[in-house]
Amino acid sequence: MDAAVCEKNTKPEAGMLFILLVAASVAVTSLLPPAFFTLWRELAIKGASLMGALTGMTVTSGGDILTVNGFPMRIIHECTAFNYVLILSTAILFYPRHTLQYRLAGVLVAAPLVVILNALRLVISGFAGTVSMNLFNFVHEYLWVALFSLLIFGIWKVWVDKRLVLKKTAITQIALVVVASSAFFYLLTSQSPTYGSMLAAVATAALKLIALDPGAETAYVSGDILGHAKGVACTVPFNLDYCNVAVLAGLVLPLQRKGDMKTLGLTLFTVVSALLLNAILMASSVYQMAVHGKKAFDAYMTIQHGLLLAVPFVLWWIVTSGAKEGNKADIPVRR
């Protein structure tokens, strides 16, 4: 009698451990000296300059300014894809089904690939800026929040599967993920006053608990979150990373099957969890600014940014692994 042939599934709770690892990794790297991040930013700018030269564009740089065909852009930390490299590397190193050698090789290949893709993203964003400022804002925010996140997920998935499958079914699913994420992202951004106000209402309840202040509250006003806690009023920006639920929606949509109530239930649970986590993080940002000041707020936002980028993939992991756990009895056994 031969052993049963089936895939070892990753436990749903491993996803929660992963997001804790991401938070720890981002927190630790935030303690690195400023010179490190300056060098990383220079790497991103030089990569974009090289990419621009390869694509026939005129790209120049000076300090933290990158100019593409005459359109200047200030390159800040979030533009360098450092958090994406960190999250992808953590996801590869943490994944238990592959050997340590394969994981290390994955990081050595994936990290430079993300840097290259980010250089292309910067050049495309700059080119969009030469057309119109509105197009730049849309391309920059959209590519950064949604499509670039999906691209990073795709790199990880190809590494996990050890192959790139471009069959008709796979292409259809990829298209469905991209279209669904795009549609949800457009919906959330076009209705940002409604979405922001909804998150702010939940964030108010969270802030009261975090600050131990029954009078604390938050409100969405013209693209910002106005809040006060402990008698101090403050304003923090409405982070577009709060639209991460659009990426999650796109990822879990292809997993739905007629009559599969377990996957549907897990999906609804993870979407609600993402919204709740976004509201809690929003409340925490107001608390940091109001109670501890801008320095603490900036350090906190570095960690929050990494968490918000990782959340859709962690929750997708929970949905897929949870569904597989529930369907173990359906896996065929070869004898």
Which pLDDT band, with edges at 50, 70 and 90, does 283 fall under?
very high
Q: Are 118 and 80 in contact (CB under 8 A)?
A: yes
pLDDT at 331 over 80: no
| Residue 2: inside a domain | no
Spatial CA neighbour of 49 closest among 130, 126, 158, 112: 126
| Residue 50: inside a domain | yes
| Residue 334: inside a domain | no
Q: What is the pLDDT of residue 203?
A: 97
Choose from 163-177, 244-258, 318-332 the range with maximum mean pLDDT. Answer: 244-258
Q: Are 297 and 186 members of one domain?
A: yes
Choose from 14-28, 139-153, 274-288 the range with maximum mean pLDDT. Answer: 274-288
User: Which residues, including other chains, have CB under 8 Å from residue 177's CB and lie 6 or more apart?
Assistant: 150, 250, 251, 253, 254
| Residue 1: inside a domain | no
Q: Are 184 and 319 members of one domain?
A: yes
Spatial CA neighbour of 273 closest among 221, 224, 319, 324: 319
Choose from 48-62, 192-206, 310-324 the range with maximum mean pLDDT. Answer: 192-206
Instruction: Convert the chain into a string of H (helix), E (strand) and C (coil).
Output: CCCCCCCCCCCCHHHHHHHHHHHHHHHHHCCCCHHHHHHHHHHHHHHHHHHHHHCCCCEEEECCEEEECCEEEECCHHHHCHHHHHHHHHHHHHCCCCCHHHHHHHHHHHHHHHHHHHHHHHHHHHHHHHHCHHHHHHHHHHHHHHHHHHHHHHHHHHHHHCCCCCCHHHHHHHHHHHHHHHHHHHHHHHCHHHHHHHHHHHHHHHHHHHHCCCCCEEEEECCEEEEEECCEEEEEECCHHHHHHHHHHHHHHHHCCCCCHHHHHHHHHHHHHHHHHHHHHHHHHHHHHHHHCHHHHHHHHHHHHHHHHHHHHHHHHHHHHHHHHHCHHHCCCCC
| Residue 110: inside a domain | yes
Q: Are 219 and 193 members of one domain?
A: yes
Q: Are 56 and 132 members of one domain?
A: yes
Q: What is the pLDDT of residue 324?
A: 58
| Residue 256: inside a domain | yes
Q: What is the pLDDT of residue 15?
A: 63
Q: Are 186 and 131 members of one domain?
A: no
Spatial CA neighbour of 290 closest among 222, 223, 203: 203
Domain boundary among 116, 146, 163: 163
Q: Are 149 and 243 members of one domain?
A: no
Query: 322 is in which domain, residue-wise?
Result: 165-328
Q: Are 211 and 271 in contact (CB under 8 A)?
A: no
Q: What is the pLDDT of residue 322?
A: 64
| Residue 199: inside a domain | yes
| Residue 4: inside a domain | no
Q: What is the pLDDT of residue 161?
A: 86
pLDDT at 220 over 90: yes
Q: What is the pLDDT of residue 256?
A: 86
pLDDT, tens only, 60-82: 988 889 999 999 999 988 889 99
Q: What is the pLDDT of residue 3?
A: 32
- pLDDT, average across residues 256-282: 90
Q: Are 223 and 291 members of one domain?
A: yes
Q: What is the pLDDT of residue 11?
A: 59
Q: Are 258 and 135 members of one domain?
A: no
Which pLDDT band, with edges at 50, 70 and 90, does 12 fall under?
low
Q: What is the pTM of this model?
A: 0.80
Q: Are 173 and 157 members of one domain?
A: no
Domain boundary among 163, 184, 205: 163
- pLDDT, average across residues 145-151: 84
Domain boundary among 163, 197, 225: 163
Q: What is the pLDDT of residue 17?
A: 73
Q: What is the pLDDT of residue 221?
A: 94
More confident position, 21 or 179: 179
Q: Are 259 and 199 members of one domain?
A: yes
Number of independent structural domains in the chain: 2
User: Could you give phi then psi for residue 101, rounded to 5 degrees?
Assistant: -60, -45
pLDDT at 298 over 50: yes
Q: Are 26 and 138 members of one domain?
A: yes
Q: Are 214 and 93 members of one domain?
A: no
In this structure, is the dihedral angle defined by the CA atoms of residues 98, 101, 102 and 107, taken in order, positive or negative?
positive
Alpha-carbon distance 247 to 309, whole Å? 10
